[in-house]
Chains A and B, each alone.
Chain A
Amino acid sequence: MKSENFVHPYIPNSVPEVKAKMLEEIGVENIEELYSDIPDQLRFKGKMKLPKALTSELALKQHMEKILSKNKSVNEYDSFLGGGVANHFVPAICDEVNGRSEFLTAYAGEPYEDHGRFQALYEYQSLMSEMLDFDVVNVPTYDWAQAAATSIRMAQRITKKDEILISELIGPDKLSAIYNYCQKSMKITLVKHDEVTGLLDMKDLKSKLHKDLAGIYFENPSYIGIIENQGKEISDLIHESEGLSIVGADPISLGILKPPSQYGADIACGDIQTLGNHLHYGGCLGGFISSRDEEKIVMEYPSRLFGITKTEVEGEWGFDDVAYDRTSFGVREKGKEFVGTANALYAITSAVYLSLMGPDGMHDIGRHLTQKSLYAKKILGKIQGLKIKFDTASFKEIVLDFNESGKTVQEINKALLNHNIFGGIDLLEKFSWLQNCALFCFTEMNSKEQIDHLASVLTEVLAN
């Protein structure tokens, strides 16, 4: 391609005449001269061994679709998988806006020519504020894990204390990322849960409280779906010991469940995948962080925060970075943690989702999910060989205990797969004490028929 007169559609100035003209203008013989600063010993003399170029768009399309056809999607299979991301309905307008050239290909323009981008992200913050009943929400970070890790570091800076309590019932992926992010600067102490109820073990919490805590981080619903109803007590206790209460929450639950702010949380965080974003094999996440509008908290956010303002023309809205000098963009390592490109497009998509849903939609989806999982609990609970592990209220996800059946989750899921069903997450891989237990998730995408089918297949599998 290089030596021939081939011009790739993505590279207009490969046209030999144009190239020649530009070289002449610069005053060099060839492009090689432009690389004269790179020492010869550093020049790569070989050829990168990459597969042959698929220069025709059709060939590329055929190749890609062939590879992707090896995947089985949750449209084809009945999926009961959750654990941080879940298959929720994505309204058509979310896809329409998410795919718009303007948003898709914009980046870091000024609040003038990119006014719409600033406004859309400001509206995302504002809509999420209502869900969370807090006045401040960030432009999202990478994922829930990062949002939790940053919330914890914010608490460290606000309280000037270096130990954090974390409920042991958070996802191990998340915990690993938090450990990595807090290493060297914080001590992490896990708080136990009650093995019967699945709720936080208040006795254990009380025994771990002292005045040098930055705070506590727990999730509600927890990783295993349990609605933590002691939120207020937990927050009160941590406040008594002068630490902060940090709560992770699935935002799709908040039309019906109390937001963390209403039971004493100082900082809330979570992931926006469930609000209008597709699954993408877990590759489409966005971590929100939210709090009260207090200067001492706001100034500890590392993220971009957009604010609303006016312009010199009466009636015109403008949008602007709030307290930019907090950020690493402003002051490098002296900023709060670091900021860079994260997931703005998913935030805009979630803004569309919340705008469409409105107060009734968010309430209705919360109720729908509650009804679905209650129904699943009821139907599946009748099956010989399995038990509903916790007799505690849960949201969207429930733990099935297969110990009586003598079968492992791996065996059961393998059998389910033969019926085109993705069974629940094997909790043994996550929590050693949950042997032969699986986390099943039920969303609006799982019809009654799917749940009934799951029940009948499970009955058969467990009987054999």
Chain B
Amino acid sequence: MENKYNRLRNFHQAKWDEEVIFQLHNPGEKGIIVPEVEKEIQNEIGDGISEIPASMLRSEKPNLPEVGQMRVLKHFLRLSQQTLGADFNVDIGQGTCTVKYNPKINESFVRNPNESELHPMQDQSTCQGTLQILHEMGEFFKEISGMDRFSFQPSSGSHAILNMASIIRKFHEVNGEDGQRDEIITTIFSHPSDAAAAAVLGYKIITIHQEEDGLPSAEALRSVVSERTAGLFITNPEDTGIYNPNIIEFTKIVHDAGGLCGYDQANANGILGITRAKDAGFDMCFFNLHKTFSGPHGSGGPAAGVIGVTDRLKDFLAVPIVGKKEDGSFYLDYDLPNSIGKTRQFYGPIPVIVRAYAWIRSLGAEGLEEVANIAVLNNNYLLHKITKIRGAASPFPAGKHRIEQVRYTWDKMFKETGVGTYDVTLRLADFGFHMWSSHHPFIVPEPFTIEPTESYSKEELDEYIEALQRISDEAYSNPEIVKTAPHNSVIHKIDHSVSDDPKKWAISWRSYLKKHGN
């Protein structure tokens, strides 16, 4: 390897050429034995099956593979090795996702039987520990956001947006304006779900685009609010990482028009202890515990989107919330007169909440502020370095600082060499890194979004930068190597042609066998 890239590793990902589990089928093998019921029960009841109505009895056993225990273990461990988790890489390339360190000690808490073996319907006196955690978390988030009450019903950020939209519906309904207020306004650099989840409840979505400075303008907002405005869903900083300094004006414009304002704080990593939702005039906000608050991403969940509201919306939250009695005990409180009801079964994604609770406890107020400070420091350091790489740029005013992430572009490189974002993404896999383009639509051409969080050391950031540098050098000198990547990943270029063709797509193994034979 050239000296120039002395930080880069001679990496190769595990490649097991592992079969699909059904290909491991060996008739008669067993992964686990289900215990038989006690002899006395057998004598008393028989096989039990005759009691099931014949019309409901499954005639053939499900066609699952039969695989011995060790082989099942090996199979899934191999698949795990063929997955690049944050614990293994400098996971700063999945911008907007806040992929940070997930402390291992927190895993021990959710694998503690006193957390994992609680049934949601057991007597509340027997789950005071978990209820305490939920209650205290509500208090923590009041401090973090300035809001007045929190609910833990939302199962993700998108689900929290649905909760916000439901509250907006209910609020206008109570005020007799629901029929008239049928529009939700959002911005193009807010998460797709800010538009999509609101649309599920029948709202017409109005999307404001950015101006030349990368920000939506107050004028643009003013021109779309009216007596039909139900509310505004907005991220700040948006996906560009630029903080919108006019946000107070935004919330005022919407309030003056009679709407409510919901703050999408899925990613709040750069502003903990720096600025708060309520002070910017928001009526509601939510936080993703699997992002800012360190819940591991779990290959795509579990997630949690805790939602907070100001006093006037206090009784609209999804139930239950956790109250504290005078005697110090905790209880599930369903007594919210205007509640939107339940939006998930039971009380929330508990393991995600427990991990996040432990994370907050480990850091305290100053620690959270330090998280924000270092996340912002790391981000601006990267901004400074990445924009020096040939072919890379950060659109919108140069010289502006960013908060926790930056949306960059490879547009120049793409035009000059034909190497674009997706090529770089695949080539980065050769060095053991991720890179994510961005949410659609690609307003910024050939986009990529980098979010370093507070978790990675300067050396690690430098290693990632060097990989980008090397790929840029390759694009300008030997683009083929980028275009044919990945070379050191698990697999090679995928045939995407089947994925949009109903005759060829195979969403299960049985469907594959039907459509493509063996």
Instruction: Collect the chain B residues with CB atoms within 8 Å of residue A87's CB.
Output: 117, 119
| Closest residue of B by beta carbon distance from A83 | B121
Bitwise, B329-351 to A at CB < 8 A (1) or not (0) is 00000000000111111111111
Report if B445 contacts A (CB, 8 A).
no
Instruction: Collect the chain B residues with CB atoms within 8 Å of residue A231's CB.
Output: 55-56
A117 to B75, CA, bound (A): 12
| Inter-chain pairs besides A113-B490, A309-B499, A370-B49, 15 sampled, C-beta below 8 Å | A19-B377, A37-B245, A37-B403, A48-B365, A69-B129, A72-B127, A119-B79, A122-B20, A177-B345, A283-B348, A284-B349, A322-B505, A324-B499, A330-B440, A335-B192
A338 to B73, CA, bound (A): 34
A246 to B111, CA, bound (A): 35
**Contact among B107, B275, B491 for A43, CB-based, below 8 A:** B275
User: Which residues B28-58 have CB closer than 8 A to chain A?
Assistant: 29-38, 40-42, 44-45, 47-49, 51-53, 55-58
Flag if A10 contacts B362 (CB, 8 Å).
yes
| Closest residue of B by beta carbon distance from A35 | B274
User: Which residues B143-196 have CB closer than 8 A to chain A?
Assistant: 143-144, 146, 155-159, 161-162, 166, 169, 191-193, 195-196
A360 to B84, CA, bound (A): 34
Flag if A47 contacts B365 (CB, 8 Å).
yes
**Contact among B117, B157, B400 for A279, CB-based, below 8 A:** B117
Report if A102 contacts B (CB, 8 A).
yes
A-B interface, 5 closest residue pairs, ranked by CB to CB distance from nearest: A283-B350, A53-B364, A282-B120, A282-B346, A344-B300
**Contact among A279, A318, A330 for B494, CB-based, below 8 A:** A318
Known: A105-B85, A254-B58, A371-B37. A44 touches B274 (CB 8 A): yes
User: Which residues A1-40 have CB closer than 8 A to chain B?
Assistant: 1-2, 8, 10-14, 18-19, 21-23, 25-28, 31, 33-39
Known: A55-B362, A87-B119, A146-B344. A360 touches B42 (CB 8 A): no
| Closest residue of A by beta carbon distance from B178 | A184
Known: A332-B196, A370-B52. A113 touches B493 (CB 8 A): no
Bitwise, B2-19 to A at CB < 8 A (1) or not (0) is 000000000001000110
Can you show 5 pairs from A to B with CB atoms below 8 A apart?
Answer: A100-B76, A102-B80, A181-B200, A311-B494, A422-B123
Most buried by A among B62, B298, B376: B62
| Closest residue of A by beta carbon distance from B400 | A37
Count of residues in B whose CB is under 8 Å from the partner chain: 214
Report if B478 contacts A (CB, 8 A).
no
Flag if A2 contacts B193 (CB, 8 Å).
no
**Contact among B53, B69, B113, B279 for A356, CB-based, below 8 A:** B69
A357 to B69, CA, bound (A): 10
> Nearest chain A CB to B444's CB is how many angstroms away?
16
> Nearest chain B CB to A221's CB is how many angstroms away?
9
User: Which residues A321-336 have CB closer than 8 A to chain B?
Assistant: 321-325, 328-333, 335
Flag if A343 contacts B62 (CB, 8 Å).
no
A74 to B123, CA, bound (A): 11
Flag if A425 contacts B121 (CB, 8 Å).
yes
Please tell me which stretch of B97-105, B218-226, B405-413 contacts chain A, meaning at least 4 of its Cβ atoms lie within 8 angstroms of it.
Answer: B97-105
Flag if B76 contacts A120 (CB, 8 Å).
yes
Instruction: Collect the chain A residues with CB atoms within 8 Å of residue B75's CB.
Output: 355
Bitwise, A85-107 to B at CB < 8 A (1) or not (0) is 11100010101110111111111
A50 to B204, CA, bound (A): 40
Instruction: Collect the chain A residues with CB atoms within 8 Å of residue B496's CB.
Output: 309, 320
**Contact among A125, A316, A325, A362 for B62, CB-based, below 8 A:** A362
Known: A10-B101, A39-B245. A73 touches B118 (CB 8 A): yes
Instruction: Collect the chain B residues with CB atoms within 8 Å of residue A115's CB.
Output: 82-83, 489-491
User: Which residues A43-91 have CB closer than 8 A to chain B?
Assistant: 43-44, 47-55, 57, 60-61, 63-65, 67-75, 77, 79, 81, 83-87, 91
| Closest residue of A by beta carbon distance from B439 | A329
Report if B507 contacts A (CB, 8 A).
yes
Flag if B345 contacts A282 (CB, 8 Å).
yes
Instruction: Collect the chain B residues with CB atoms within 8 Å of residue A256's CB.
Output: 49, 52, 57-58
Instruction: Collect the chain A residues with CB atoms within 8 Å of residue B91's CB.
Output: 105, 107
User: Which residues A343-390 have CB closer than 8 A to chain B?
Assistant: 343-346, 348, 351-352, 354-368, 370-372, 374-375, 378
Instruction: Collect the chain B residues with CB atoms within 8 Å of residue A332's CB.
Output: 192, 195-196, 205, 207, 440-441
A380 to B109, CA, bound (A): 37
Report if A137 contacts B (CB, 8 A).
yes
Flag if B360 contacts A320 (CB, 8 Å).
no
> Nearest chain A CB to B159's CB is how many angstroms away?
6
Instruction: Collect the chain B residues with CB atoms within 8 Å of residue A330's CB.
Output: 440
> Nearest chain B CB to A380's CB is how many angstroms away?
13
Instruction: Collect the chain A residues with CB atoms within 8 Å of residue B115's CB.
Output: 68, 71, 280-281
A283 to B117, CA, bound (A): 11
Instruction: Collect the chain A residues with CB atoms within 8 Å of residue B512's CB.
Output: 308
Flag if A53 contacts B116 (CB, 8 Å).
no
Flag if A110 contacts B426 (CB, 8 Å).
yes
Instruction: Collect the chain A residues with CB atoms within 8 Å of residue B205's CB.
Output: 332-333
Report if B366 contacts A (CB, 8 A).
yes
Most buried by A among B117, B193, B348: B117
Please tell me which stretch of B253-261, B452-460, B468-476 contacts chain A, meaning at least 4 of its Cβ atoms lie within 8 angstroms of it.
Answer: B452-460
A155 to B358, CA, bound (A): 42
**Contact among B53, B87, B345, B507 for A305, CB-based, below 8 A:** B507
Instruction: Collect the chain A residues with CB atoms within 8 Å of residue B511's CB.
Output: 129, 135-136, 293
Most buried by B among A10, A104, A312, A361: A10
Flag if B155 contacts A146 (CB, 8 Å).
yes
Flag if B58 contacts A259 (CB, 8 Å).
yes
> Nearest chain B CB to A277's CB is how many angstroms away?
9
Flag if B52 contacts A227 (CB, 8 Å).
yes
A133 to B62, CA, bound (A): 8
Report if B498 contacts A (CB, 8 A).
yes
Instruction: Collect the chain B residues with CB atoms within 8 Å of residue A116's CB.
Output: 18, 78-83, 490
**Contact among A53, A108, A340 for B193, CB-based, below 8 A:** A340
A231 to B259, CA, bound (A): 46
Report if B140 contacts A (CB, 8 A).
yes
Report if A242 contacts B (CB, 8 A).
no
Flag if A120 contacts B508 (CB, 8 Å).
no
Flag if B86 contacts A25 (CB, 8 Å).
no
Flag if A312 contacts B492 (CB, 8 Å).
yes
| Closest residue of A by beta carbon distance from B278 | A44
Flag if B61 contacts A362 (CB, 8 Å).
yes
A68 to B45, CA, bound (A): 40
Flag if A129 contacts B508 (CB, 8 Å).
yes
Report if A255 contacts B (CB, 8 A).
yes
Flag if B346 contacts A361 (CB, 8 Å).
no
Please tell me which stretch of A168-176, A209-217, A453-461 contacts chain B, meaning at least 4 of its Cβ atoms lie within 8 angstroms of it.
Answer: A168-176
